[in-house]
């Protein structure tokens, strides 16, 4: 009797500890959200989003940072989504599940996913800027320094490499939800493999490609380390083009909090910018989650 009671208490305590851990994590998230939203909500206005920083970045808005972030993720998606999708098609449609090639590619994809983002920054610098860029300058501009320096294009491509695994994994999952019977039906009608993929498999996994794109964009919008020295700029008075450095939300937060001369004075802007970035990534992530939920539901029905 007593023994079992003790056992019960022990059980309750242990279950309590696990419950406490779960609640603590949820609390941390809620606190972070609350603090940032409360700190930033007064800043959020149309004006904040659409005007340039003024007074040595202590006042004004974040428009150039928003603009730079948008350009960054667009160029990044243009590079990452097709390549990611094609890789996923190879893995699901062409490669044999247990072939060495497929296994190696999968391992490579997972490795890409865990490489620290700062390494991508180094790679962007070493490869895109110092190797590709310098060669382009040498070949087309007579050695004049044009592409051999940090800019939007190189930063976007660096970010594309970083987000490639995100796209691959999402698209692969979506391709797998297309029933095997549909592929069989198409092939039995005399369609070639590629016709089957193009007309049956891909249309059936469009929402998965969308999910992958959104997740990649969300990731790319928030990452700072890869662009620290491949293109991000402290302050620019004009909007950037492909060959220019650019302002970006995450980097803006970083420089305002650590590099600015008067951190306290810019505190509202810091909270405001963080709030905007968080809202942006959340909206994207939520839509991806909803899309993915729909795909899974479709699969199970």
Binding residues for other proteins restricted to 89-118, rule: CB under 8 A: 89-91, 93-97, 104-105, 107-112, 114-118
Interface with other proteins by CB under 8 A: which range of 51-59, 60-68, 70-78, 224-232?
Answer: 224-232
75 vs 269, beta carbon nearer other proteins: 269
Interface with other proteins by CB under 8 A: which range of 44-52, 55-63, 82-90, 236-244?
Answer: 82-90
Binding-site member from 45, 50, 54, 86 for other proteins (CB under 8 A) = 86
63 vs 90, beta carbon nearer other proteins: 90
Count residues binding other proteins (CB under 8 A). Answer: 115
Task: Specify burial of residue 46 (Cβ count, 10 A radius: 0-12, 13-18, 19+).
Answer: exposed
Q: Look at residues 160, 286, 153 and name the one whose alpha carbon lies nearest to residue 217.
A: 160
Which residues inside 42-81 make contact with other proteins, applying CB under 8 A?
none
Binding-site member from 57, 61, 81, 87 for other proteins (CB under 8 A) = 87
Which residues inside 239-298 make contact with other proteins, applying CB under 8 A?
250-251, 253-254, 257-258, 267, 270-271, 274, 277-278, 281-282, 285, 289
56 vs 126, beta carbon nearer other proteins: 126
Q: How many Å apart are CA 188 and CA 166, to the nearest integer?
A: 33
| 35 interacts with other proteins by CB under 8 A | yes
Binding-site member from 73, 76, 228, 291 for other proteins (CB under 8 A) = 228
Q: How far is the CB of 297 from other proteins (least distance, A)?
A: 15
Q: How far is the CB of 117 from other proteins (least distance, A)?
A: 7
Q: Retrieve residue 138's tokens.
A: 């040498």
b (16+ CB within 10 A) / e for 219-257:
bbbbbbbbbbbbbbbeebeeebeeebbbbbbbbbbbbbe
Cβ atoms within 10 Å of 161's Cβ, excluding its own:
20
29 vs 242, beta carbon nearer other proteins: 29
165 vs 212, beta carbon nearer other proteins: 165
Binding-site member from 60, 123, 177, 268 for other proteins (CB under 8 A) = 123
Binding-site member from 47, 50, 56, 143 for other proteins (CB under 8 A) = 143
Binding-site member from 3, 5, 142, 238 for other proteins (CB under 8 A) = 142
Q: Look at residues 183, 204, 185, 206 and name the one whose alpha carbon lies nearest to residue 194.
A: 183
Q: Look at residues 70, 63, 71, 73 and name the one whose alpha carbon lies nearest to residue 269.
A: 63
Which residues inside 152-211 make contact with other proteins, applying CB under 8 A?
161, 164-165, 168, 179, 181-195, 197-200, 203-204
Q: How far is the CB of 115 from other proteins (least distance, A)?
A: 6
74 vs 184, beta carbon nearer other proteins: 184
56 vs 143, beta carbon nearer other proteins: 143
């Amino acid at each position: 009797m007593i023994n079992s009671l003790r056992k019960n208490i022990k059980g309750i305590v242990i279950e309590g500890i696990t419950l406490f851990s779960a609640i603590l994590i949820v609390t941390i998230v809620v606190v972070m959200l609350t603090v940032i939203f409360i700190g930033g909500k007064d800043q959020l206005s149309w004006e904040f989003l659409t005007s340039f920083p003024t007074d040595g970045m202590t006042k004004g808005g974040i428009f150039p940072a928003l603009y730079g972030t948008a350009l960054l993720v667009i160029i990044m998606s243009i590079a990452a989504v097709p390549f990611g999708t094609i890789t996923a098609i190879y893995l699901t449609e062409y490669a044999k599940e247990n072939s060495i090639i497929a296994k190696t590619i999968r391992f490579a994809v997972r490795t890409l996913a865990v490489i620290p983002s700062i390494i991508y920054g180094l790679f962007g610098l070493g490869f895109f800027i110092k190797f590709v860029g310098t060669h382009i300058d040498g070949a087309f501009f007579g050695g004049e320094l044009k592409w051999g320096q940090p800019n939007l294009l190189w930063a976007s491509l660096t970010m594309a490499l970083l987000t490639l695994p995100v796209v691959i994994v999402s698209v692969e999952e979506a391709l797998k939800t297309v029933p095997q019977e549909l592929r069989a039906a198409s092939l039995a009608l005399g369609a070639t493999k590629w016709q089957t993929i193009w007309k049956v498999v891909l249309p059936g996994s469009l929402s998965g490609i969308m999910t992958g794109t959104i997740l990649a964009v969300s990731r790319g919008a928030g990452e700072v380390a890869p662009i620290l020295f491949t293109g991000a700029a402290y302050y620019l008075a004009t909007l950037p083009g492909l060959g220019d450095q650019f302002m970006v939300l995450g980097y803006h937060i970083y420089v305002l909090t650590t590099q600015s001369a008067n951190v306290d004075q810019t505190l509202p802007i810091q909270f405001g910018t963080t709030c905007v970035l968080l809202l942006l990534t959340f909206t994207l992530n939520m839509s991806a989650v909803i899309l993915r939920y729909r795909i899974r539901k479709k699969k199970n029905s």
